[in-house]
Structure 1
């Protein structure tokens, strides 16, 4: 194997399944294993054969399903565990075993109740026994980062002599730092007899958020194998996320001078499958595969990405299997992002239109958490010029609930020269009261014919669009209003209908009580 090639060992089906609440059945494991094979994983740890007959069956099913990756099963340092692995893999080639025992003082004394010599003897005995059946034998010193370096050297030399082909030094509780982990691997490389016969491996947990940093430190110090899980799942805070390892090595290949066999374009599919089958959702801010990993909401960022994606993206979403960069429209988005989204939706917006729409857009973002395509389409359509003049425009509205289950509405409307006029009226409901209040301001005979509310987009804070039909004389007029607040939308819809009536009215004066309006 080339020294610049990093072996990726996936333990999603074993350590990942130890995530609280996760229980993968045989079919689930096979589905994930086949996806890991497409991803380009080198070694798949399919489970713990001795744990249960079901786990042993699943381990075998995975080994039968995949062809390229090496498949291994975990085993403790006892003959029964090893026999269960042998039985599970009987008749199948390209398989191996992963044997472990704890080596740190706290584990030796408090968990195992064993001396150093007893731990060494047990390890050597088990590795020697497994060597009768397997060419690939990985040996792990559980909790190695809290183990004396001299003892790690001692047990490493003995298991190498017994037939181990891979030495794994797990940071089982996520305790170490990159500097300390580097020191561990350098010490083993420089002081262990027979070290040239084996591959060094790291296995990092993320209890202190250092799993990725520690894995890369181990790689730089001489580890040729990195173990982890898809999406970083696993015991407690989880394992290092293998998709992050692969993406980092690929993105910074000139710096690390390393490579993997991973097909990055399969990352998104693999991540989504693991998430779905384990029931563990991917945090939106998760590196590489999170929903926000390639989303930009800041206006400054969006402007940069529109001009050149590399301004704010070091990893292309397409390179890891996602469709495209997302410009998330929100309160921090700028005009460039809004105009680009209109263009993507097939709408042409000139600079003047954009200026007018953007004002309403910013008002909307102050009241709505997420802006959808239908929201901005509705804003654009609401800006389309209507025939005639808008004599009246909405100022504000408030409601009072009365003891007799009626409502009192207070409606302020801007009239000529932005003069504010107020209408007050009661009604059997909030909308009835509002419309009655508006009626007090006009010298027109208006009757509501139809009233309809629709949701423009999705979510509880969706824009509501209200359509009203009113009759005046022998004609029917339609008005429309739109707002997050359905009361405001209803008010503006009724005012819109009144404006349309005024525009075609043959009466040139006093269509509004106490307020002179002249039609053109």
Structure 2
């Protein structure tokens, strides 16, 4: 077990005024450029899962304050394989001996159907080291990249467009030469025009055409062009336009795989990825919980389960999401946000009374074939979570929340009037404690209030054809008469204790199906106290015999009065 700590710099707070934020930010931040294309993506739908690449061990790992150890990388690597990833970017092998050694481990331990991908800059000595790291692999992808945006070329690398194209082609030819010397491996090339999202689309197509001509892919063995939103600089629709422009204008489209690698600077990584797929992308790169530089890579769990909840198999298995979360948090040492889609600890929880009531009714009425539960787009059981986490109760919760807990835990379907009564008790308790109530606390609160087995206990009873009842209570007997067991027992209690009860509400249901099922009786009785005030209380009884269950429910009310010193025995 580990504890996440956040270091806080003790600096005076900055007063945000218009001296800091501009009244007219357009003077500093220009609007993203629109692309004029004959777009078709808005009318398309996603009908199948893309190819997936996990870059958790490379892009995700390099962004960690404390990078994974070799053992942690091994644990993560095998979990990615268990999930179903067939392409895994494992490292930047030329960066360190540790990365190189782990790459060798991945090569030697990857299943035959898993392709190892490695990343390198477009520098000869780094390319040679990178190819060396995956020699002997069943299949491998050499991923080369080169900055193509104006700001990177001009500011960072001082490189013209012509020089960039020449560099990309030289690196491609070098990879082709080196890999041809090892035909035992099924080699492929991935090229990324880095910062594609901020690159003029015409130049992206131009440099990729040059790389494609140098690599010479075929229809049976297409190469990969990764078109990354290295920095998310515009809204997702513009990124989709860029992807569609590329797909429309690159030649020999059938000989390439278009891959998207979205970062999340604007918080739109998932949307950009989905729109990129609509625009023609075939492959998605990211991390399973969105780890990565700055605001992270796209969250592959979210993209995959978005497909799943639309009836499309993502071909990735998140059946045991809790275990995946545990491994991720252990290896990355970064917690999953509790509100993170699908994976967050609170995303399947409802605290609001209206939400809880809708969910409870949804479970009661939902058809068996289709999942149609209000507020829950995904069945928690599909990702290894139970229904106990769906509804949690605090002072904001209504009658639906507490009654859901009782239904799921005890099988008791509380009548509405009792739901209202119990929820007010739960709310007062939560307010007094100043926190959420746990399920076991709610159950105990319910039992202490409505199921009171002592001091009076029913030993035996009988009722004849004249509806005369005899009941053995503890060591004494009571007698009464009425039009049924309930009225006869109340009459017997009145004769014994000189208290007149009136039945306000009565409900019953079977606790479980089958011939051995028990009956549950809920009863609300009212009476006048010594001050002449009319008081009502609920009781509950459970027994194989419906009449006995009803009598025990009445006794529960009486026992409550005795314990509260409202009735003398």
* 2:410 partner SS: coil
Where structure 1 has 5 or more consecutive residues not aligned to the other structure, the ranges are 390-414, 420-498, 504-516
**Contact preservation (8 Å) 2:205, 2:250:** yes
**Contact preservation (8 Å) 1:230, 1:271:** no
Distance 1:259 1:158, change over 3 A: farther
Where in structure 2 are the equivalents of 1:292-441 lying within 5 Å? 292-309=346-363, 310-324=373-387, 326-346=390-410, 356-367=421-432, 368-383=434-449, 417=531
* 1:99 partner SS: strand
* 1:29 partner SS: helix
Which residue number in structure 2 is paired with residue 96 of structure 1?
Answer: 141
Which residue number in structure 2 is paired with residue 250 of structure 1?
Answer: 308
**Contact preservation (8 Å) 1:172, 1:204:** yes
1:266-300 per-residue CA deviation (whole Å, 9 max, x = no partner) reads: 54432331122111111111001111121122222
Where in structure 2 are the equivalents of 1:106-505 lying within 5 Å? 106-132=151-177, 133=179, 135-163=187-215, 165-253=223-311, 260-309=314-363, 310-324=373-387, 326-346=390-410, 356-367=421-432, 368-383=434-449, 417=531
Distance 1:297 1:73, change over 3 A: same
* 1:208 partner SS: coil
> In 2, Cα distance between the equivalents of 1:11 and 1:204?
12
**Contact preservation (8 Å) 2:190, 2:226:** yes
Which residue number in structure 1 is paired with residue 86 of structure 2?
Answer: 42
> In 2, Cα distance between the equivalents of 1:38 and 1:98?
24
Where in structure 2 are the equivalents of 1:70-89 lying within 5 Å? 70-89=115-134
* 1:101 partner SS: strand
**Contact preservation (8 Å) 2:405, 2:443:** no
Q: Does 1:12 align with 2:52?
A: no
In the TM superposition, residue 218 of structure 1 has moved relative to its aligned partner by: 0.9
Distance 1:347 1:149, change over 3 A: closer
In the TM superposition, residue 329 of structure 1 has moved relative to its aligned partner by: 1.3
Distance 1:293 1:355, change over 3 A: closer
In the TM superposition, residue 260 of structure 1 has moved relative to its aligned partner by: 3.4
> In 2, Cα distance between the equivalents of 1:323 and 1:357?
24
Distance 1:349 1:416, change over 3 A: farther
* 2:193 partner SS: strand
> In 2, Cα distance between the equivalents of 1:185 and 1:348?
55
In the TM superposition, residue 107 of structure 1 has moved relative to its aligned partner by: 0.5
CA RMSD across the alignment: 2.9
In the TM superposition, residue 3 of structure 1 has moved relative to its aligned partner by: 9.4
1:378-398 per-residue CA deviation (whole Å, 9 max, x = no partner) reads: 423442557599xxxxxxxxx
In the TM superposition, residue 98 of structure 1 has moved relative to its aligned partner by: 0.7
Which has the higher mean CA deviation after the structures are superposed, 370-379 or 228-237? 370-379
Which residue number in structure 2 is paired with residue 56 of structure 1?
Answer: 100
* 1:379 partner SS: helix
Distance 1:358 1:8, change over 3 A: same
> In 2, Cα distance between the equivalents of 1:166 and 1:347?
55
* 2:292 partner SS: coil
**Contact preservation (8 Å) 2:264, 2:295:** yes
> In 2, Cα distance between the equivalents of 1:178 and 1:42?
27
**Contact preservation (8 Å) 1:157, 1:194:** no
> In 2, Cα distance between the equivalents of 1:518 and 1:315?
51
Which residue number in structure 2 is paired with residue 26 of structure 1?
Answer: 70
In the TM superposition, residue 36 of structure 1 has moved relative to its aligned partner by: 1.1
> In 1, Cα distance between the equivalents of 2:250 and 2:567?
99
In the TM superposition, residue 358 of structure 1 has moved relative to its aligned partner by: 3.0
**Contact preservation (8 Å) 1:297, 1:332:** yes
1:64-104 per-residue CA deviation (whole Å, 9 max, x = no partner) reads: 22213211111000121221222211222222211111100
* 2:116 partner SS: strand
> In 1, Cα distance between the equivalents of 2:57 and 2:159?
30
In the TM superposition, residue 303 of structure 1 has moved relative to its aligned partner by: 2.2
* 1:122 partner SS: helix
**Contact preservation (8 Å) 1:30, 1:65:** no
Distance 1:159 1:379, change over 3 A: same
> In 1, Cα distance between the equivalents of 2:272 and 2:121?
25
**Contact preservation (8 Å) 1:7, 1:260:** no
**Contact preservation (8 Å) 1:329, 1:337:** yes
In the TM superposition, residue 5 of structure 1 has moved relative to its aligned partner by: 4.6
> In 1, Cα distance between the equivalents of 2:355 and 2:134?
53
> In 2, Cα distance between the equivalents of 1:273 and 1:47?
19
Which residue number in structure 2 is paired with residue 435 of structure 1?
Answer: none
> In 1, Cα distance between the equivalents of 2:246 and 2:430?
57
In the TM superposition, residue 178 of structure 1 has moved relative to its aligned partner by: 1.9
> In 1, Cα distance between the equivalents of 2:244 and 2:413?
62
Question: If the length of structure 2 is used for normalisation, what is the TM-score?
Answer: 0.65
**Contact preservation (8 Å) 2:407, 2:414:** no
> In 2, Cα distance between the equivalents of 1:306 and 1:73?
49
